Structure 1
Amino acid sequence: MLGLLCCWPIGIPAVVFAAQVNGKWNGGDQAGALESARKAKKFATIALVLGIIGSIIYGVLIATGAMNMDSTSTGM
């Protein structure tokens, strides 16, 4: 679920695959349930890593002043 918050475009498939697991397992498709669980874990991990990397890059840009939000003009 944390992956959904960190990088939602990749986190959405993780939630979709995770939602499929119980239905497949209860329907007798253990192989399908395990495959959906594996895919959900993969997408959640990717989303979490991308979210952390994005946060680090954003923090570095803020710390270096590259994303200065000051809108005052220094012109004449």
Structure 2
Amino acid sequence: MQSQNVPNYLPQAILTTLFCCLPFGIVAIVYAAQVNTKLQAGDYEGAMQSSKSAKTWCWVSFGSGLAVFLIYFLLVILASLAPQ
């Protein structure tokens, strides 16, 4: 049965929501929650599409959180190097 092979990415979505970027992480959680619902309804293609979207939004959330952290880190370094 193919439905066993559809990952829902819910743990990753929750973690990226908590630690990276809240708005994009919430979108990832919504898509991840749709995977099991669509599988139970027999919509394998819809479940695959929701799974792919959840994975994409997890990466978007991670990347944006990482970018904000790096920008903040660089600004702190630049502020500490600035003459007083």
TM class by smaller structure: 0.7 to 0.9
Q: Share of identical aligned residues, percent?
A: 39
User: How many residues are aligned here?
Assistant: 66
Match of 2:66 among 47, 52, 74: 52
Task: Point out where structure 1 has 5 or more consecutive residues left out of the alignment.
Answer: 67-76
What is the root-mean-square deviation of aligned Cα atoms in Å? Answer: 1.2
Shift in Å, 1:2: 2.6
Task: Point out where structure 2 has 5 or more consecutive residues left out of the alignment.
Answer: 1-13
Asked if structure 2 preserves the Cα contact closer than 8 Å seen for 1:3 and 1:44, the reply is yes
Shift in Å, 1:4: 1.1
- 1:16 equivalent to 2:30? Answer yes
With the length of structure 1 as denominator, give the TM-score of the two structures.
0.80
Q: Give deviations 1:17-54, integer Å, cap 9, x for gaps.
A: 00010011111000010000011111110110110011
Q: Which has the higher helix share?
A: 2
